Amino acid sequence: MTTGNRAGTGAVGTVPPTEIERALSAAVGAGSADAVVELLARTRLYVLVARLHADIPGWTAPLPTIRDEATRRTCVPVLTQGMLPPWHPEWVFREVGLGELARTWPYDVRRLAVNHGTPYAAMADARPGRLKAWRKAAERLGGPEQGVLLTDSGGPLHGPLAHGLALGAHLAVTNGLIWNRLGAAYEDYAADRARLRRPWG
């Protein structure tokens, strides 16, 4: 898998793309399921959706599922912002919060796979009792953090390109985007479409 800056995420000793993935790795390394849930409750999570489905008015695609070969369990896969792949014309991402996941969770799936197949992966227990804890954490923390500067460690940090991207950093912070990510920057497919439609009709 590649991140939005096309930096590989499969090599040993790789650097997490953003602080989100660093914190997630630390929580998983500490073995604290509660710390993982707390972090996920204040993080933007993304679900892959076929653009064809996302363009159907008034319809929300069901949560996708995958089979984790290591545990042989069915999981719902989500990505954190730093792990979003480069733009593709046929696939888009829908932003979901942990509270929304808990409310719309498929009855027969017991695991949430965050950044599945990467060094920054986490598995969260999704049995009914844990879903209740997800909802409580989301309510208590109020959703994803706002007004945070997100930096891609693999993106430009110095030089003229970084200086040019920094001119728009205030917009990135306002919209919750990574300021130094090259290529398409997106928040949520439906929100992005609405944002473009408002000023230009």
Helices (H), the chain: 19-30, 33-41, 51-54, 98-104, 128-141, 159-166, 169-175, 189-200
Domain ranges of the chain: 19-200
Residue 28 CA from chain centroid, whole number: 16
**41 and 32 Cβ atoms separated by less than 8 Å:** no
pLDDT given at position 193: 82
| Separation CA 56–CA 64 (nearest Å) | 17
| Separation CA 122–CA 118 (nearest Å) | 9
| Separation CA 84–CA 54 (nearest Å) | 17
**38 and 141 Cβ atoms separated by less than 8 Å:** yes
Flag whether pLDDT at 50 surpasses 70.
Answer: yes
CA distances from 61 to 52, 77, 177, 184 (A): 10, 14, 24, 23
Query: Does the pTM exceed 0.75?
Result: yes
pLDDT given at position 83: 94
3-state secondary structure (DSSP) of residue 136: helix
pLDDT, tens only, 18-46: 999 999 999 999 999 999 999 999 999 99
pLDDT given at position 2: 44
**In the structure encoding, which two tokens stand for residue 180, read together?**
């130094």
Residue 32 CA from chain centroid, whole number: 20
Q: What is the mean pLDDT of residues 131-157?
A: 92
pLDDT, tens only, 81-131: 999 998 889 999 999 999 999 999 998 999 999 999 999 999 999 999 999
| Separation CA 116–CA 120 (nearest Å) | 8
- Is 19 exposed, middle or buried, given 0-12, 13-18 or 19+ CB atoms closer than 10 A? middle
Mean pLDDT of the chain: 88
Residue 19 CA from chain centroid, whole number: 12
**115 and 22 Cβ atoms separated by less than 8 Å:** no
| Separation CA 105–CA 112 (nearest Å) | 10
